[in-house]
Amino acid sequence: MNKARRPLIAGNWKMNHGGANACNLASAVKRTTAEFDKVDVVVCPPFTAIAWVAEELRGSAVQVGAQNVHPKDSGAFTGEVSASMLLDAGARWVILGHSERRAMFGETDTLVAEKTRVALDVGLRPIVCVGELLEEREKGQTLDVVKRQLNAFASILADKPGVGAIAYEPVWAIGTGKTAGPAEAQEVHAMIRARLREISAEVAEKTRILYGGSMKASNAEGLLACEDVDGGLIGGASLKAEDFAGIALAGQKLA
């Protein structure tokens, strides 16, 4: 099987490994994925570890991302970090609009769009997250919710086709051990692709759409084999290099 797009396997470490442990994990990821030449591998540590991890990964193909950014470049925004600061620290990617940020930190579609614009302008590659709550899925609202979230930033991504990625993360599958089955994931991914195609054929062909939510080595192959699943955004299983490498290997095999 040949994937239409080069698989992207990104680890979201969330609020884990902010110090020396981050370097050990990054070093293990570098070692365990060194042979994989057909997938892009990204790790996203907490802010405090970005520069260390970037240093640890210097010269390797594994890239570094952040988990959030502030839309302004500098100023009186206590506790925040700007896109140019992330770039300076060695980040090349940034996760935006994660459901945890939407639910716990009040991030709206408008704010996520603003962050997407700034990341692209500064030269960071955004991975913008979308996904429905369990309650929304049960009410049959999945496609409507994801389309609403997507509409907020899709045309911004279209300015630089293929630079950014989208992650479909059903909220009920995050950290729960419940995964969307390949058919459930593909249905949403296909809708996202179709919506991108309405904007431009190029953005639809080039944008990688990742799946996230309890992805692990044992279920990665089935998910990544879906036509419109171009990679994964991995939480828990990205905290152990062997587990994460197992997912990257599934991408490598299918690429």
Hey, which residues are catalytic here?
A: 98, 169
Q: Is 223 in the site for ligand 13P (CB under 6 A)?
A: no
Residue 79 phi/psi, 5-degree rounding, is 90, 0
Asked whether position 169 contacts ligand 13P by CB under 6 A, the answer is yes
Q: What distance in Å separates the CA atoms of residue 110 and residue 153, rounded to the nearest whole number?
A: 8
- Among the listed ranges 151-159, 187-195, 212-220, 247-255, the one in contact with ligand 13P (CB under 6 A) is 212-220
Cα torsion 78, 81, 85, 87 to 10°: value is: 180
H/E stretch holding 144 reads helix 142-157
Q: How far apart are the first and last CA of the chain?
A: 7
Q: Does 97 bind ligand 13P (CB under 6 A)?
A: no
Q: Would you tell me how many other CB atoms lie within 10 Å of the CB of residue 254?
A: 18
User: Among residue numbers 233 through 252, which ones bind ligand 13P (CB under 6 A)?
Assistant: 233-237
Under the criterion CB under 6 A, does residue 174 sit at the interface with ligand 13P?
yes
Q: How far apart are CA 122 and CA 70, in angstroms?
A: 12
If one asks whether residue 17 binds ligand 13P (CB under 6 A), the answer comes out as no
Residue 178 Cβ vs ligand 13P, minimum distance, rounded to whole Å: 9
- Choose between 112 and 204: whose C-beta lies nearer to ligand 13P: 112
If one counts every other C-beta atom within 10 angstroms of the C-beta of residue 73, the result is 13
If the CB atoms of residues 186 and 214 are measured against ligand 13P, the closer one turns out to be 214
Distance CA(120)–CA(238), nearest Å, equals: 25
CB closer to ligand 13P, 12 vs 32: 12
Burial of 42 (0-12, 13-18, 19+ CB in 10 A): buried
| Residue 173 main-chain phi, psi, to 5 deg | -100, -5
Return the residue nearest ligand 13P (CB atom). Answer: 235
Q: What are phi and psi for residue 121, nearest 5 degrees?
A: -60, -40
Asked if residue 12 binds ligand 13P (CB under 6 A), the reply is yes
Nearer CB in complex with ligand 13P: 204/238: 238
| Distance of closest approach, residue 47 Cβ to ligand 13P, in angstroms | 16
* Number of chain positions touching ligand 13P (CB under 6 A): 14
* Binding mask of the shown chain, residues 55 to 94, with x at each position contacting ligand 13P by CB under 6 A: ----------------------------------------
- Return the number of the residue (164 or 235) whose C-beta is nearest ligand 13P: 235
Tell me the residue type at 242.
E
Q: φ, ψ for residue 114 (rounded to 5)?
A: -60, -45
212 near ligand 13P, rule: CB under 6 A: yes
214 lies in the binding site for ligand 13P (CB under 6 A) = yes
Closest approach of Cβ 167 to ligand 13P, in Å? 7
Minimum CB separation of residue 28 from ligand 13P in Å reads 18
Residues 6+ apart with CB under 8 A from 155: 199
SS3 232: strand
Where along the sequence are the contacts to ligand 13P (CB under 6 A)? 12, 98, 169, 174-175, 212-215, 233-237
